[in-house]
Structure 1
Amino acid sequence: MRITVLAGGVGGARFVRGLRHLVAITDLDAEIVVVGNTGDDAWVSGVRVTPDLDSLLYALAGVNDEGRGWGREGDSERVSDELRAYGVGWPWFTLGDLDLGTCLARTALLRDGLPLSAVVERLAARWPLGVTLLPATDQEVETWVHVVEDGRDRELHFEEWWVRTRAALPATAFVQRGVERAVPAPGVVEAIAEADVVLLAPSNPVVSIGTILGIPGIRQALAATAAPVVGLSPIIRGTALRGMANACLTTIGVAVDAAAVARHYGARAHGGLLDGWLVDEADADGVPGLETGGIRARAVPLRMTDDAATAAMARAALELVR
């Protein structure tokens, strides 16, 4: 069985780790391919940072900082302190020393001419991840946010809007720079086309999954695949448990509601993407309307409290379309 997952950062990493746990504790003979968001990527202090891909890498390698939700466990920040003292980089964006080592290795390999997909493969080979990790694209596609600050229209990199302002500045639009020239990274379209099931992780629908879907060819591959496409809601009882999905959804005019996000993706039966959708038990009242609209839906616990709970979510997603 081949399972392809489209995922963002922290929430996506937790979900994929739970899916991997499900495969490990059952007799499920499955290959997992993860297509990671690259829209959060940025050049910072001369190095290429890929926050979502690194969150996936570290979580699957078992070296992530569970407390912060990002970066390496037990990391120090001496280099970032020095950069800050010199006035270099983003003072509000702290990279740990081990994390910076990954970024330096990535940058060196990119400067040597390797595409991002080859760099990800090289970095991932260090640890037994149990999955194949692919970037959505090899091209630089960065998410920028239009805001109004001090009465002026401004454009901020998504990381600045998220980390520095904590989404306190209302966004008026999200723009993926360079997306129109991007192509799916090697293996991405094949992973979707040849999958037995495609899962949309409970990641931000706008700037994580949405950025992946915006790369020409990926949405079309999802529409054409024979595999069922099942998503898991990142919204529980009107609240996003991770990230800034609340503010992002409001900006694009989508209600912060589990069923509304499913309708945003749309039913494949009516030209959209979804065959199935899981909502939390707290949002069970939205299931009948989704079923009527052509999306098979089910209410199950969706809080990723540990690998066992997340594995149960993954099992429910697979069983929904069996």
Structure 2
Amino acid sequence: MTHELRRHERIVALSGGVGGAKLAEGLMRAVVEGEMTLVVNTGDDFNHLGLHVCPDVDTALYTLSGLANPQTGWGRRDETWSFMQALEQFGGESWFRLGDADLALHVERTRRLAAGEPLSSVISDLAERLAIPARILPMSDDPVRTRLDTEIGALDFQHYFVREQCRPRVNSIEFKGAEKARLSPGAVRALADEDLGAIILCPSNPYLSIAPMLAVPRMRELIRSADVPVVAVSPLVGGEAVKGPTTKIMNELGLSVSVLQIVQDYADLIDGLVLDSRDAGLRDRIDLPVTVTDTLMHTPQDRLRVARETLAFAATLRG
């Protein structure tokens, strides 16, 4: 028997940067146009060179529009760097690189935010202009900033991740402003939609990408009360992160570096887990429904395959 979401149903996915955006692009293609809402982490946002930069949101925009750099997974394909070269000549900060085409997005977003437009409205319009057949929303219009207490002091996320290349040891993580933030209105509507069929936690860093979203008041409550299958796709492959500092941070926070730890972290939210085939030996130790597949997404076909298998698995969890 083939399990699938009913055609009229919608899905909501929660995502951070590159890995999550890959699955989100597959999910977008796996469902009927307009039936996916992607809620994206904004804890990584920061002000740089006077511009409001949203790294995870922009990765989603570029990935779902087909503009992403295929080599890096972030930034735009066929980018040029005249601005950065000139900035370096003048002694400006160049540790966070903004390409010439990418710069246009940051300038326009900053202008519209300064004029009083909410971030969610700006992002929705940008997604429409990029002809993305899905809704992309920031988790909140209010500022939430991921801040890491490290061996060299407190660092905002981009200073830790890009400037310091994740080298400092992490002692703890704070989501500054989360307790006062409000979920973006579109995210609230999507999670409360009577036609919602499933909620997917993309394979993003649980501690730096998913946790900031779960820290915003009402997010956990709305996920729990949605009465639909909630499925997480494991961010670990063979016990390691494909990209980024997930396992490094788990070690430094004194957590077990294992899918079992991530299942424990998500235990009060998820109904099932998509487990990578290289971790299949852990299946019997997970007290949740599990499906096993190759979760590596090297190609667009891989993204669509993992998305379809995830949605089919979610459909088996009804009731």
Both structures adopt the same fold (TM-score exceeding 0.5): yes
Once residues 30 and 96 of structure 1 are traced to their aligned partners in structure 2, the CA distance between those partners, rounded to angstroms, is 30
Once residues 98 and 77 of structure 2 are traced to their aligned partners in structure 1, the CA distance between those partners, rounded to angstroms, is 12
Once residues 30 and 226 of structure 1 are traced to their aligned partners in structure 2, the CA distance between those partners, rounded to angstroms, is 21
CA contact (8 A) 2:170 2:253 kept: no
Moved more, 251-260 or 7-16: 251-260
Q: Quick one: higher RCO (CA 8 Å, sep 6+), 1 or 2?
A: 2
Once residues 113 and 87 of structure 1 are traced to their aligned partners in structure 2, the CA distance between those partners, rounded to angstroms, is 32
Give deviations 1:17-74, integer Å, cap 9, x for gaps.
1112323xxxx67700000010110000000000000000011111111112211111
1:188 aligned to 2:187?
yes
Give the structure 1 partner of residue 307 of structure 2.
314
CA contact (8 A) 2:81 2:99 kept: yes
Give the structure 1 partner of residue 21 of structure 2.
13
Give the structure 2 partner of residue 261 of structure 1.
262
- The 3 A distance-change label for structure 1 pair 251 and 285 is same
Moved more, 163-172 or 250-259: 250-259
Give deviations 1:251-286, integer Å, cap 9, x for gaps.
4433222232112111xxxxx001010111111121
- TM-score (structure 1 length as normaliser): 0.91
Once residues 312 and 225 of structure 2 are traced to their aligned partners in structure 1, the CA distance between those partners, rounded to angstroms, is 21
Structure 1 letter corresponding to 2:30: L
Once residues 142 and 29 of structure 1 are traced to their aligned partners in structure 2, the CA distance between those partners, rounded to angstroms, is 32
CA contact (8 A) 2:34 2:135 kept: no
5 Å matches for 1:33-44? 33-44=37-48
Give the structure 2 partner of residue 97 of structure 1.
100
Shift of 1:127: 1.5
What value does the CA root-mean-square deviation take over the aligned residues? 1.5
Structure 2 letter corresponding to 1:320: F
CA contact (8 A) 1:202 1:232 kept: yes
Alignment gaps of 5+ in structure 1: 267-271
Give the structure 1 partner of residue 166 of structure 2.
167
> Quick one: which of 272, 280, 285 aligns to 2:281?
285
Structure 1 letter corresponding to 2:293: V
Give the structure 2 partner of residue 85 of structure 1.
89
Structure 2 letter corresponding to 1:279: L
CA contact (8 A) 2:13 2:36 kept: yes
Deviating 4+ runs (over 4 angstroms)? none
Give the structure 2 partner of residue 276 of structure 1.
272
Once residues 321 and 188 of structure 1 are traced to their aligned partners in structure 2, the CA distance between those partners, rounded to angstroms, is 20
Alignment gaps of 5+ in structure 2: 1-8
What is the percentage of aligned positions where both structures have the same residue? 33
CA contact (8 A) 1:235 1:256 kept: no
Secondary structure of the corresponding residue to residue 213 of structure 2 = helix
CA contact (8 A) 1:5 1:201 kept: yes
Give deviations 1:106-143, integer Å, cap 9, x for gaps.
00000000010011012112121111001000011111
1:53 aligned to 2:46?
no
Shift of 1:162: 1.1
Shift of 1:164: 2.1
Give the structure 2 partner of residue 296 of structure 1.
289
Give the structure 1 partner of residue 69 of structure 2.
65
Give the structure 2 partner of residue 269 of structure 1.
none
Once residues 77 and 47 of structure 1 are traced to their aligned partners in structure 2, the CA distance between those partners, rounded to angstroms, is 17
Matched residue pairs, number?
A: 305
Give the structure 1 partner of residue 203 of structure 2.
202
Structure 1 letter corresponding to 2:99: G
Once residues 132 and 34 of structure 2 are traced to their aligned partners in structure 1, the CA distance between those partners, rounded to angstroms, is 14
Secondary structure of the corresponding residue to residue 161 of structure 1 = helix
- TM-score (structure 2 length as normaliser): 0.92
CA contact (8 A) 2:146 2:157 kept: yes
Structure 2 letter corresponding to 1:321: A
Secondary structure of the corresponding residue to residue 207 of structure 1 = helix
Give the structure 1 partner of residue 35 of structure 2.
31
